[in-house]
């Protein structure tokens, strides 16, 4: 099974969307194997968004992501990275289809509620930034035999 990193950003927390987002993840058939809530430290945010360091929006992104609590998760399942990306919708919510998290709840790219890793390599890097191996629980959900052939 593949693992991916998912974060409900401070705007999603402030808007009371934690339960809705987690419910959509679980209803889709993905499994939470790690989760924690807290306000991200600036140094952690800079590591997480290192690929954007030269972009003009970097400082405002770091300011936003460290402005309040967020929920970090490790999500597991078959093709978890691509399934989560589809569940989120496009980065710009104006282009995200209805039925996706961003399509249903967002209006602005800078306040788009959720982050999900864009590749298995990014997922591994981001999971390692936010979680130790001991914080990730491996288990079999009772419905897995009904989800996968």
pTM attached to this predicted model: 0.94
CATH of domain 2-132: 3.30.70.141
Handedness of CA 134, 138, 141, 147 (dihedral sign): positive
Domain ranges of the chain: 2-132
Q: What is the CB neighbour count within 10 angstroms for residue 115?
A: 21
Predicted local confidence at residue 26, as pLDDT: 97
3-state secondary structure 72-133: EEEEEECCHHHHHHHHHCCCCHHHCCECEHHHHHCCECCECCEEECCCHHHHHHHHHHHCCH
Asked about 115 being catalytic, the answer comes back as yes
Q: How confident is the model over 33-83, as pLDDT tens digits?
A: 999 999 999 999 999 999 999 999 999 999 999 999 999 999 999 999 999
Q: How confident is the model over 83-104, as pLDDT tens digits?
A: 999 999 999 999 999 999 999 9
Q: How confident is the model over 70-80, as pLDDT tens digits?
A: 999 999 999 99
From the list 48, 52, 115, 130, the catalytic residue is: 115
| Average pLDDT, integer, range 109-116 | 95
Residue 4 structure tokens: 């991916």
Predicted local confidence at residue 68, as pLDDT: 98
Q: What is the CB neighbour count within 10 angstroms for residue 63?
A: 11
Question: d(Cα 131, Cα 129) in Å, to the nearest integer?
Answer: 6
């Amino acid at each position: 099974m593949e693992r991916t990193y998912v974060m409900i950003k401070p705007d999603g927390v402030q808007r009371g969307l934690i339960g809705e987002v987690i419910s959509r993840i679980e209803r889709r058939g993905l499994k939470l194997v790690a989760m924690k809530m807290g306000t991200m430290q600036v140094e952690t945010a800079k590591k997480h968004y290192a690929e954007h360091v030269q972009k003009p929006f970097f400082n405002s992104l770091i300011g936003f992501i460290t402005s309040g609590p967020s929920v970090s998760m490790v999500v597991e399942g078959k093709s978890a990275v691509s399934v989560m990306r589809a569940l989120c919708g496009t980065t710009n919510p104006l282009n995200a289809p209805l039925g996706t998290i961003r399509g249903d709840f967002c209006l602005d790219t800078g306040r788009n509620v959720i982050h999900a890793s864009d590749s298995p390599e990014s997922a591994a890097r981001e999971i390692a930034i936010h979680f130790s191996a001991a914080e990730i629980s491996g288990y079999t959900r009772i419905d897995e035999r009904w989800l996968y052939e």
